[in-house]
Amino acid sequence: MAEKHIYQLSTDEVLAKEQVQTSGLSAQEASKRLAEHGQNKLAGKKKKTTLARFLDQFKDFMIIVLLVAALIAGVVVHEWADAGIILAVVILNAVFGVIQESKAEAAIESLQAMTSPSAHVRRDGEVVIVPSSDVVPGDVVLLEAGDVVPADLRLIESANLKIEEAALTGESVPTEKNINVIADEAGIGDRTNMAFMSTNVTYGRGVGVVTATGMETEVGHIAKMLDNQKENQTPLQANLAKLGRSLTWLILVIAVIVFIVGIMRGTESPAEMFLTAISLAVAAIPEGLPAIVTIILALGTQKMARHNALVRRLPAVETLGSTDIIASDKTGTLTQNKMTVEQTYYDGKLHAAADGVADTSKLLPIMTFANDTKEQADGTLLGDPTETALVAFAKQHGFAYQDALQKTPRVAEVPFDSERKLMTTLHALPDGQILVATKGAPDELLRQATMIDEAGSARPMTAADRDAILATNHELAVQALRVLGMAYKILPSLPETVTPASIEHDLVFAGFVAMIDPERPEAKEAVAEAKAAGIRPLMITGDHRDTAQAISERLGIIPRGDSAAVISGRDLDQMDDATFEQHVQDYSVYARVAPEHKVRIVNAWQKQGKVVAMTGDGVNDAPALKAADIGIAMGITGTEVAKGASAMILADDNFSTIVRAVKAGRKVFANIQKSIQYLLSANLGEVLTLFTMTMLGWDILAPVHILWINLVTDTLPAIALGLEHTEPGVMKQKPRGRNSSFLSGGVGSAIIWQGLLEGALTLGVYWLAITFPIHTSSAAIHADALTMAYVTLGLIQLFHAFNVKSLHQSLFTIKPFGNKAFNWAILIAAAALAVTVLIPGFNGLFHVTELDLIQWGMVLGAGVLMVAIVEIVKLFERRRQK
């Protein structure tokens, strides 16, 4: 026979199993068990040192390629300047990565900072307060409203105990607890005789025996799932790795061809041709790309932080932009995690909460009298979320309940009981009579009611009244509203015995209130905007199916009445992975799910080739947060485990921030794409120039020319392109998806023809300088031609930077000078290039000559021609698309 679960044991069996009496452990035994089981803490991952983080930055494929290029340039060819520049860029990239990661971690640590709660335990027969970290298996723990449960407990005493378990189960309403044995297998949310670590006591009191601590708790099991969850490569990382591999092979092929052709021609020595091939490789590799991508991501991260989105890992910024699916937790993310009165029913009619309650109705006094909410000096309401919602509603509509309670103080009560589902309080009226105020489940209340309140007067209740009340109650329940009935009666004096049987009968039904954990005001708009952007929102919750469907309909996640789009965790258990993956697109709402279900949901969508973002705040969300392409945790209500598993944290817990972050992610991708288009087309122009010069036997540009052009044109302008404003309509486009690349959407073809154009214009200027020289000396002619080719190749790239501000739109319709950082970058780069020609002393260092006005005119004309040709091609492309 299989061993019983702890919740299937009686209280005596639990005490025997844990070898403890109700008086608790002795201090000596507690110390012994603490040494045996360790502290009651979740095992945290060892933090990486700064050096380890720095070394991690060198695992990227492109970085490895650059390091190899630097090694060859320095050791083999002795071009130490080349090697130094490449290494400087690589180190700069690594430093950027470490700084950003450290800043994010520091911010998160401050966000996560919270004091460790204490626990009331019985030791040696007395109640003592110990740090929760010192709680051990077998400890007898006392719970009351406001406590955080320190470990997993099997309850042995319970008095109206309610525990809010949203962080673990996703249930927005506190769970009523008892000590009854549960015979059958039960999920976490249905183990009503258990209390779990990190959950919150909202009502009543209880006593429990610790059955698990630390990593052996339910929270600990989720932490273990996190450790075993593989972290996915982001689309950005995959794109860069793929691009790096493609470029490397292309570069190697071209370099080998140049080297072989040069040797076959016999005009250059093998060493000189090897140097030429290396120079060509240096020209082709966009060595600044990793650093530029990092900088653009860092800038995007800083901007998102100003909008309350804290990014832990840089690639997460861009991943949001490619998101196909946002799988969102309901409680606290899409909803407010705060019960709110939405409708009232009295005088035979439903009323919107915003309309208030008529003065003749008894609803407001009853809902605040039959209520154990405590109000602090600052106005904060403490107690059961349902009861605090009633008091908040009464206060909102001007009912001075505290003054009313002073005039009619509570003199007796019949506490809430989960079996009869009612609560009653008795109050002394000024004339000596007793007011009985009762609230509870409407159907139970109706069984005890014989009268009905109508416009402030009581009359006998008819069968038609009962039918109308029950029909309205059912109508609201279908909408997932929680309905509480209110009733009263007047007694001439306080009875000698106050029991349910003596008090709760012949009541006057006053009406009821309908409550719900409402959606966030901005969430519905955010869902609509996500849909317009081609993103499919999913809702994943631990709530019951009806509640999940009602909330998702109100948010616009699914159409009204589309119950087929809702699936429960139990139904999910009956599907194997293959079947679920086949039908995953049928479902948008997942109800009553467990942590392992959430991971299955994320994995199933990923196998469909979708980029999945998962939002959540509870411990139960953490494994899926880590499994998703980007996990987004809530900063205020989010648990420590959820934050640690996420790639991004919302400091304001605002769902609409996610949509702003998606927009920022799309902008980041577009700007990285612009930088790549700029860099690769420029480098292709350089490769074509060098390759053609080599093939034709012309004088070729020296490595110092190529390196200086790369230094002044590949850095500041490319970074400044990362600051371009968001292009219109970015949130009206479909997600580009997992299989897209930086070269998709016409960028790849643009790089090729624009790079060829740059090379052709540069070679054209060189040819003109040779064909129509201004000097007679052959050496001077070739020196001028090489100088003009050098300046043209540099300046034409700066002109082209304006072209790539938009792939399809005309330069003159997108505010070409609207980006101040870009304007300064172009001016500084142009000045750095011009100084090598115009300032005496630099000429010899860079092997260039001074140019006259005609020669400068030819160089600048090539740059203008570059812009003009690209504009004409864009014009034809726009007409063809129309």
- pLDDT (tens digit, 9 = 90+) per residue, 131-189? 888 999 999 999 987 788 889 999 999 888 888 887 677 665 788 899 999 988 887 88
- Is 384 marked active-site? no
Which residue type sits at 319?
A: T
177 and 30 both lie in a single domain: yes
Q: At which of 486, 516, 546 does a domain end?
A: 516
> Is the CB of residue 21 less than 8 Å from the CB of residue 125?
no
- pLDDT for res 226: 59
Helices (H), ranges, 378-499? 385-396, 401-407, 442-447, 463-478
> Is the CB of residue 268 less than 8 Å from the CB of residue 644?
no
Q: Please report, for residues 280, 288, 481, 605, 692, the alpha-carbon distance to residue 374 in angstroms, rounded to integers and kept in the order given.
A: 77, 62, 25, 46, 84
What is the domain count for the chain? Answer: 4
Pairwise CA distance, residues 315 & 60, whole Å: 13
> Is the CB of residue 22 less than 8 Å from the CB of residue 123?
no
What CATH number is attached to the domain comprising 554? 3.40.50.1000
Q: At which of 516, 549, 570 does a domain end?
A: 516
Which residue type sits at 201?
A: V
Q: What is the DSSP string of 524-554?
A: HHHHHHHHHTT-EEEEE-SS-HHHHHHHHHH
Q: What is the DSSP string of 574-611?
A: TS-HHHHHHHGGG-SEEES--HHHHHHHHHHHHHTT--
Tokens 């300064």 identify what position? 824
Q: Is residue 814 included in any domain, yes or no?
A: yes
434 and 356 both lie in a single domain: yes
736 and 865 both lie in a single domain: yes
CB atoms within 10 A of CB 489: 20
What CATH number is attached to the domain comprising 155? 2.70.150.10
Pairwise CA distance, residues 625 & 639, whole Å: 12
Each residue's pLDDT tens digit, 616-632: 776 667 777 888 888 88
E strands present in 704-831: none
325 and 364 both lie in a single domain: no
Q: Is residue 588 included in any domain, yes or no?
A: yes
Q: Is residue 100 included in any domain, yes or no?
A: no
> Is the CB of residue 557 less than 8 Å from the CB of residue 538?
yes
Residue 285 belongs to what domain range? 238-296+667-881
φ and ψ of 509, to 5 deg: -75, 120
- pLDDT for res 109: 46
- pLDDT for res 664: 83
329 and 344 both lie in a single domain: no
Q: Is residue 59 included in any domain, yes or no?
A: no
Q: Please report, for residues 165, 167, 226, 636, 772, the alpha-carbon distance to residue 333 in angstroms, rounded to integers and kept in the order given.
A: 15, 12, 21, 11, 71
- pLDDT for res 236: 61
679 and 808 both lie in a single domain: yes
Q: Please report, for residues 387, 400, 610, 689, 765, the alpha-carbon distance to residue 761 in angstroms, rounded to integers and kept in the order given.
A: 77, 83, 43, 9, 6
Q: At which of 634, 659, 684 does a domain end?
A: 659
Pairwise CA distance, residues 806 & 808, whole Å: 6
- pLDDT for res 619: 67
525 and 511 both lie in a single domain: no
854 and 761 both lie in a single domain: yes
Q: Please report, for residues 394, 571, 671, the alpha-carbon distance to residue 370 in angstroms, rounded to integers and kept in the order given.
A: 13, 39, 60
Q: Is residue 18 included in any domain, yes or no?
A: yes
Each residue's pLDDT tens digit, 89-143: 667 667 766 765 565 455 444 433 333 468 899 999 898 989 888 999 999 999 9
Q: Is residue 311 included in any domain, yes or no?
A: no
12 and 146 both lie in a single domain: yes
530 and 613 both lie in a single domain: yes
Pairwise CA distance, residues 592 & 568, whole Å: 6
What CATH number is attached to the domain comprising 394? 3.40.1110.10
The whole-model pTM stands at 0.66
- pLDDT for res 43: 67
- pLDDT for res 112: 37
Q: Tabulate helix, strand, coil % of the chain (nearest 5).
A: 55, 15, 30
- Output the CA torsion 400→406→408→414 (10° steps): 100
What CATH number is attached to the domain comprising 783? 1.20.1110.10
Residues of the chain with pLDDT under 50: 1, 104, 107-116
353 and 459 both lie in a single domain: yes
Q: Is residue 577 included in any domain, yes or no?
A: yes
Q: Is residue 10 included in any domain, yes or no?
A: yes
Pairwise CA distance, residues 758 & 661, whole Å: 36
Catalytic residue among 329, 372, 543, 617: 329
∠ CA 478-483-485, nearest 5°, is 140
486 and 438 both lie in a single domain: yes
